[in-house]
Structure 1
Amino acid sequence: MGEASREEYKIQSFDAETQQLLKTALKDPGAVDLEKVANVIVDHSLQDCVFSKEAGRMCYAIIQVNNMPMMALVNPVYDCLFRLAQPDSLSREEEVDCLVLQLHRVGEQLDKMNGQRMDELFVLIRDGFLLPSGLSSLAQLLLLEIIEFRAAGWKTTPAAHKYYYSEVSD
């Protein structure tokens, strides 16, 4: 990840000390307490749902630097995903999109590190799909797609790709 793209993260709402912590974590994760970084990101995500998408991008970037092991981020990332899988979040397409996007990015790794929590998360996702009170058609489609994605071993089957991503010809 290039130096310029690291500066794209929306961290201006944090105080100067926290901004510096996050910038350091994005450049050199080994130089900071990742648990502290994760707690800052999770706390802010839970207070500001719009920031949760940015939080996912930041966590993904942090674990990609030097192939950093993501053990310190596993539970905080799960906490964010669980928040996004709650009924009030599932009723908003933007939050469903964020949930699905993050699961596409790091779901397989999270599943390997703590499959029990992933099972619990997918119970919430399944229930959200099956009990669509106020769930839009797009949100239902996204949830169904991520359920099938995990069931297929975190891979998109040719049939699923055709169903979800091919345009219907008239």
Structure 2
Amino acid sequence: MGEPGREEYEIHSFDAETQRLLKTALKEPGAVDLEKVANVIVDQSLKDCMFSKEAGRICYTIIQVNNMPMMALVNPVYDCLFRLAQPDSLHKEEEVDCLVLQLHRIGEQLEKMNGQRMDELFGLLRDGFLLQDGLSSLSQLLLLELIEFRAAGWRTTPAAQKYYYSEVSD
């Protein structure tokens, strides 16, 4: 299953003007104020945790597909990731999966741009893994894999890959 096309984003909940802003950002990011785009995405993500996954996809497209400088989006992306690292989100496998997916995609770049915030984020993730009661086995496995992934320099070792994938398939 590949990345969605640029037209397939779930932005219909926004008013017409905001939808145009987001569509323009996805097609021609240089033609819009990326700080305004980032604020819209963060505000919606903080109101609706389920939108955080979509927010990550939108930001990923703006950054990766369009080869745009990421600086304007670093803090808003971190804000979304911090929201997904909160205890209530860590109890939802879909949100943990979203968090892990986004950090696998852009974690290394985010860390290069603001290592202190990445340290803070991983402090939350470590505490969530160690201290949160009631996390599902899958959420614990995903968090542990993510912590190990960063510790290995944002690379997966063959041994870790074999361990984590054999655990998921069992």
TM-score under structure 2 length normalisation: 0.94
Kindly indicate whether residue 21 of structure 2 is the aligned counterpart of residue 9 of structure 1: no
What is aligned with 1:28? 28
Residue 68 of structure 1 corresponds to: 68
Task: Tell me the alpha carbon deviations over residues 53-88 of structure 1, each in whole angstroms, 9 at most, x when there is no partner.
Answer: 010000000012331110000000000000110111
The amino acid that maps onto 2:74 is: V
User: How many pairs were matched up?
Assistant: 167
CA RMSD of aligned residues (A): 1.6
Counterpart of 1:106, as a letter, is I
SS of the equivalent of 2:66 reads helix
CA contact (8 A) 1:63 1:69 kept: yes
Distance 2:122 2:169 in 1: 33
Structure 2: give runs of 5+ residues left out of the alignment. none
Q: How far apart, in 2, do the equivalents of 1:66 and 1:39 lie?
A: 19
Flag as ranges the 4+ runs of structure 1 deviating above 2 A: 166-170
> Structure 1 unaligned runs (5+)?
none
CA distance in structure 1 between the partners assigned to 2:87 and 2:169 by the alignment: 34
Contact persistence 1:122–1:147 (CA under 8 A): yes
In structure 2, the CA distance between the partners of 1:20 and 1:155, relative to structure 1 (3 Å rule), is same
Which residue pairs with 1:133 in the alignment?
133
Deviation at 1:133, TM superposition (A): 1.2
Amino acid aligned to 2:10: K
Q: CA deviation at 1:169?
A: 9.1
Q: Please name the residue that 1:94 is paired with.
A: 94
8 Å contact from structure 1 (residues 96, 139) kept in 2: yes
- Report 1:36-51 matches (<5 A): 36-51=36-51
Match of 1:104 in 2: 104
Report what 1:160 is aligned to: 160
Amino acid at match of 1:21: L
